[in-house]
């Protein structure tokens, strides 16, 4: 197809003209490693670290405009944990704005509508939601191959328009059929198949996260607004067409008994397939963005505007979703947050810090 190959998907491939590669992963002793397993688990025996599972953070506590700790629901009881130094929220792009709004930090009119006392008017909380919408194109195996390894270890980035400065789509090959519920019901999924899962990595559509009520157990409302910008639909059509061209190419013939979806759809039928197929790459970001405009939530040091002793360190602070997977950028945000906290609280960098020197989180 004229798509060049690279040693990995980072740097030149996703920021240049595009290409294909095997995907980088964190693997140790044959198993994928989570960030928790890599960063936290080796230090679980430290006296200044407590990991409390099955605890729901319900809201922040304040003394005026100063964050003093968090309130949690744990073991059927409401408990408060005080922070002597700072609180750092790292709950992700859905739950970070949820906790902020339930604590009175958000758009004043929206909070008042729900009967939540306003602590700080920040209209950008929950706004600017971004994600990488995904579209599955599926083939049935000619002869069933057992899924192995990560279920998918090849990817390519490409441009929907050669005039673009960098790729606006990413596709991963998946060793199982992967589709939306709507299209799975319409087309039917083969017992044995594989997928080219296309995705938009520079979406122009923006969504929002909203509360449905003041109670922490009230469900969050996620308005993703996928494909609401016309340019995203054009890019999605180009992505699906490229996936079909590759999936139906001669080199993949030995692996394809038939194309299951979308098939040779055109015009409105193809648009409807894409709208029904749009799902998440699970790269939700940008709902408490860093910046200096009126819709920004944190400054360059991750501090929440108008609130003392409160920072955010997760993907919600991104102004724009990254071109590609979001795990590594979130790790960098965490690393940078650690540097900022060390400097702010004059913590000496040591392999095992003394408990009294640690920041109370």
Burial per residue of 109-133, b for 16 or more beta-carbon CB atoms within 10 angstroms, e otherwise: ebbeebebeebbebebbbbbbbbbb
How many beta carbons lie within 10 A of that of residue 215, not counting itself? 11
Q: Does residue 351 surpass a pLDDT of 80?
A: no
Q: 48 vs 85, 181, 356, CA distance in Å?
A: 14, 45, 8
Percentage of the chain surpassing pLDDT 70? 96
* Helix, strand, coil share (%) of the chain residues, nearest 5: 25, 25, 45
Q: What is the CA radius of gyration of the chain?
A: 23
Per-residue pLDDT tens digits for 227-274: 999 999 999 999 999 999 999 999 999 999 999 999 999 999 999 999
SS3 183: helix
147: left (phi over 0), alpha (psi -120 to 50) or beta: beta
Residue matched to tokens 């009967």? 115
Q: Which residues are catalytic?
A: 283
Query: Cα separation of 282 and 356, whole Å?
Result: 38
Q: So what's the pLDDT on residue 361?
A: 33
- Which of 243, 140, 156 has the alpha carbon at shortest distance from 192? 140
Q: What does the alpha-carbon distance between residue 350 and residue 338 come to, in Å, rounded to a whole number?
A: 13
List of residues 6+ apart from 253 with CB closer than 8 A: none
Task: Please write the tens of the pLDDT for every residue from 134-147.
Answer: 999 999 999 998 88
The 10s digit of each residue's pLDDT in 311-341 is 999 999 999 999 999 999 999 999 999 999 9
- Nearest CA to 173 out of 327, 21, 5, 3 is that of 21
**pLDDT-derived band at 32, boundaries 50, 70, 90:** confident
Q: Where are the alpha helices (DSSP H) in 146-266?
A: 181-187, 230-247
- 347 or 295, higher pLDDT: 295
Q: What residues does 199 pair with on adjacent strands? A: 134, 170
Q: Average model confidence (pLDDT) for the chain?
A: 94
């Amino acid at each position: 197809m004229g798509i060049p190959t690279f040693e990995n998907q980072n740097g030149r491939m996703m920021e240049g003209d595009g290409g294909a590669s095997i995907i980088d992963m964190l693997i140790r002793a044959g198993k994928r490693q989570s960030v928790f397993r890599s960063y936290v688990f080796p230090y679980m025996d430290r006296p200044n670290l407590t990991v409390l599972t099955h605890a729901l953070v319900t809201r922040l506590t304040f003394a005026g405009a100063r964050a003093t700790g968090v309130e949690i629901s744990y073991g059927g009881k409401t408990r408060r944990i005080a922070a002597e130094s700072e609180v750092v929220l790292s709950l992700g792009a859905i739950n970070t704005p949820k906790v902020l709004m339930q604590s009175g930090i958000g758009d004043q009119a929206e909070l008042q509508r729900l009967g939540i006392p306003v602590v700080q008017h920040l209209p950008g909380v929950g706004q600017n939601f971004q994600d990488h919408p995904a579209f599955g194109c599926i083939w049935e195996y000619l002869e069933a191959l057992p899924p192995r390894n990560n279920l998918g270890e090849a990817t390519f980035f490409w441009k929907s328009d050669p005039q673009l400065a960098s790729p606006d789509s990413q596709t991963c090959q998946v060793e199982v059929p992967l589709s939306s519920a709507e299209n799975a019901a319409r087309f039917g999924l083969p017992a044995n198949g594989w997928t080219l899962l296309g995705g938009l990595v520079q979406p122009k559509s923006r969504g929002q996260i909203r509360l449905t009520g003041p109670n922490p157990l009230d469900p969050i409302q996620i308005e993703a607004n996928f494909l609401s910008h016309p340019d995203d639909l054009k890019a999605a059509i180009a992505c699906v067409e490229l996936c079909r061209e590759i999936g139906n190419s001669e080199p993949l013939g030995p692996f394809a008994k038939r194309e299951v979806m979308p098939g040779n759809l055109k015009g409105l039928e193809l648009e409807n397939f894409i709208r029904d197929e749009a799902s998440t790459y699970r790269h939700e970001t940008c709902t408490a963005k860093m910046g200096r405009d009126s819709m920004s939530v944190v400054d360059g040091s991750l501090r929440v505007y108008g609130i003392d002793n409160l920072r955010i360190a997760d993907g919600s602070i991104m102004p724009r979703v990254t071109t590609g997977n979001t795990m590594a950028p979130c790790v960098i945000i965490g690393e940078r947050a650690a540097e900022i906290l060390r400097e702010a609280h004059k913590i000496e960098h040591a392999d095992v810090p003394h408990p009294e020197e640690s920041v109370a989180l």
